[in-house]
Structure 1
């Protein structure tokens, strides 16, 4: 299927590695010109170079979205090559903390990085999408925003906020030609997760090989119907669909790509 992304420009925040890199690479392969964002210029430039080497179009934008100045710099760099049609708010992070260790200061910092950073980019880029009558805003959420665990509560709550703001934005954009939706991944095998599993797997009796550890973790830690962790490109494919005209009738939706981790009909 042709996703009809040729001629579109996309900014993917937090795309110098991991899931964001996969999203940027997939959008470029589908014909979009992408802006790779990160805080480390070398890493962002390496991703952009790889995209260009594969025949795609890519620029970079560097800045810390947890600050107004950083968001201004990223927006200016992204717009310097032309209007942004697609905004993917992927950037974020979390610490593995318990309720006892997640202090109010950690909660505030996590909210700043995972929620307000995305709001900054929405406010800087969506008004022009609206004026031009076409645009796509996609939040990368997560199942923990719907079905939270006791660990890292500050992160779970920010995912719920991402889901909520996406629906509110969709209501705000009614009739504008701009849509707002969420892609909600389950556990995804990015490098950081692979390293974590290798570290904790043997001690939990999950085996020694990466394959054994993944299967055991998928059964015990993040049980799902497929019996494995997702891959970044599987999330990227969902984003690419929502980014194009085939998804024009999708508004305020949450597209779960989690192997059936969330046990809900909603």
Structure 2
């Protein structure tokens, strides 16, 4: 299927690794020119070089979106090659903290990095999309926005805020040709997750092979209808669809890609 992204320019924040890297690669494969963003120059350039090696068109933007200055620098670098048609707000991070451990400063820093960072990029880039009467804003959220765990509460709350602001933005952009949507991944098997699960497997009695470990982790931690973890490329495919002109009639939506982990009908 041709997603009609040739000629579009996309900025994927936090795309020097993990989900962002997969999203950037998929959009480039669909014909978009992708601005790869990260804070580490070497890692970001490596992702951009890999995309170019596959025949894709790419640029690089370096900066910390948790600061006004860093976000402005990223926006300027992204716009240096032309208008941005697609903004994927993927950048974010979390620490595995309990309610007792998460200080007000932890909450403040997490909100700055996971919520206000995206707001900054929206403010820099969306007005120009509105002027051109076409654009896409995709926010990467997650099931913890609606079904939070007792652990890492500061992170759960920022996911809820990301979902909320994305829908509010969709309402703001009514009749402009610019849409705003959420893609909400479930448990996705990036390298850091695999390393974590392998490390805790002996204490959980999950076995020794990866197949045994994954089966035990799904059963005990993330029971879902597919019986496995998701893949980064599955999230990337969902994002690519919502970026496409084929999704013109989709706005304010939450597309869950979680194997049925979140069990509600909304």
Same fold (TM over 0.5): yes
In structure 2, stretches of 5+ residues that fail to align are none
Q: Who is 2:123 aligned against?
A: 123
Q: Secondary structure at the match of 2:136?
A: strand
1:173 is displaced (CA, Å) by 0.1
1:208 is displaced (CA, Å) by 1.0
Q: Who is 1:151 aligned against?
A: 151
Q: Who is 1:243 aligned against?
A: 243
Correspondence 1:203 to 2:203: yes
Q: Secondary structure at the match of 1:157?
A: helix
Correspondence 1:108 to 2:117: no
Q: Secondary structure at the match of 1:201?
A: helix
Q: Which residues of 2 match residues 246-265 of structure 1 at below 5 A? A: 246-265=246-265
4+ residue runs of structure 1 moved beyond 4 angstroms?
Answer: none
Distance in structure 2 (CA, Å) of the matches to 1:66 and 1:4:
32
Q: Who is 2:74 aligned against?
A: 74
Distance in structure 2 (CA, Å) of the matches to 1:76 and 1:233:
28
Distance in structure 1 (CA, Å) of the matches to 2:42 and 2:14:
13
1:207-258 per-residue CA deviation (whole Å, 9 max, x = no partner) reads 1111111111111101100000000000000000000111100010000000
Distance in structure 1 (CA, Å) of the matches to 2:216 and 2:156:
23
Correspondence 1:167 to 2:133: no
Q: Secondary structure at the match of 1:184?
A: strand
1:158 is displaced (CA, Å) by 0.4
Q: Which residues of 2 match residues 219-238 of structure 1 at below 5 A? A: 219-238=219-238
RMSD after superposition: 0.5
Distance in structure 2 (CA, Å) of the matches to 1:201 and 1:134:
48
Q: Who is 2:135 aligned against?
A: 135
Q: Who is 2:20 aligned against?
A: 20
1:2 is displaced (CA, Å) by 0.5
Correspondence 1:88 to 2:88: yes
Give the TM-score taking structure 2 as reference length: 0.99
In structure 1, stretches of 5+ residues that fail to align are none
1:177-205 per-residue CA deviation (whole Å, 9 max, x = no partner) reads 00000000000001110110111112111
Distance in structure 2 (CA, Å) of the matches to 1:77 and 1:115:
21
Give the paired residue count. 266
